[in-house]
């Protein structure tokens, strides 16, 4: 039951994963991007969001995450309850990512600077919160499963970064 819920939960949050991972690839493919904050700085002298959050990244993330969820919904109709739900999971992920950047700038951290667990979990927590606020979370997605999913996501993030560093894809381990 626990394993079943965990696996179902992984499928459930997959659109949020995709939404979160898409911007970096999309911006690289597009080759140009426009900062979401219009290069505005706040009275603290720091950018509102910074160069790492772009309009292209936002739209691509929500779009690709939602389309992924819609395809999954067709294949696995028992996971999602509505098409809007895959949208809130994806859009919430981007809201979390952008909120994280806002917080990092207020703390004086430059784009790309690590801020655990904000970087690893902000997108997931925000995706679930927005879905909870708009649809309520599915009854099978209980607190234990959510905690497992959060722990798994954190571990995955650290693990994949370590791997990318080990094989030379990244020049920092975090």
Token duo for residue 159: 């693990």
Contact 170, 164 (CB under 8 A): yes
Among 10, 11, 21, 27, the residue binding ligand CTP under the rule CB under 6 A is: 27
Piece of 37-45, 53-61, 131-139, 155-163 that binds ligand CTP (CB under 6 A):
53-61
Name 54's bridge partners: 35
Token duo for residue 145: 């499963």
The gap from C-alpha 59 to its chain's centroid, in whole angstroms, comes to 13
Site string for ligand CTP, 80-99 (x = CB under 6 A): --------------x--x--
Site membership for ligand CTP, residue 24 (CB under 6 A): yes
Site membership for ligand CTP, residue 53 (CB under 6 A): yes
CA dist., res. 154 & res. 57, Å (int): 22
Interaction with ligand CTP in 100-159: which residues (CB under 6 A)? 100-101, 104, 111-113
Contact 95, 122 (CB under 8 A): no
The site for ligand CTP (CB under 6 A) is made up of: 23-24, 27, 33, 50, 52-54, 57-58, 94, 97, 100-101, 104, 111-113
């Amino acid at each position: 039951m626990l394993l079943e819920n965990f696996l179902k939960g992984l499928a459930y949050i997959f659109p949020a994963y995709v939404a979160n991972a898409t911007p970096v690839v999309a911006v690289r493919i597009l080759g140009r991007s426009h900062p979401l904050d219009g290069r505005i700085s706040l009275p603290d002298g720091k950018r509102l969001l910074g160069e790492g959050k772009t309009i292209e990244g936002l739209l691509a993330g929500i779009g690709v995450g939602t389309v992924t969820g819609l395809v999954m919904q067709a294949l696995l109709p028992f996971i999602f309850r509505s098409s809007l739900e895959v949208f809130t999971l994806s859009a919430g992920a981007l809201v979390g990512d952008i909120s994280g950047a806002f917080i990092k700038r207020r703390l004086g951290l430059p784009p790309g600077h690590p801020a655990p667990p904000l970087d690893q979990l902000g997108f997931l927590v925000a995706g679930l919160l927005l879905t909870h606020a708009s649809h309520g979370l599915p009854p099978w997605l209980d607190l234990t499963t959510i905690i497992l999913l959060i722990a798994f996501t954190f571990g995955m993030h650290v693990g994949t970064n370590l791997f990318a560093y080990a094989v030379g894809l990244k020049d920092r381990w975090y």
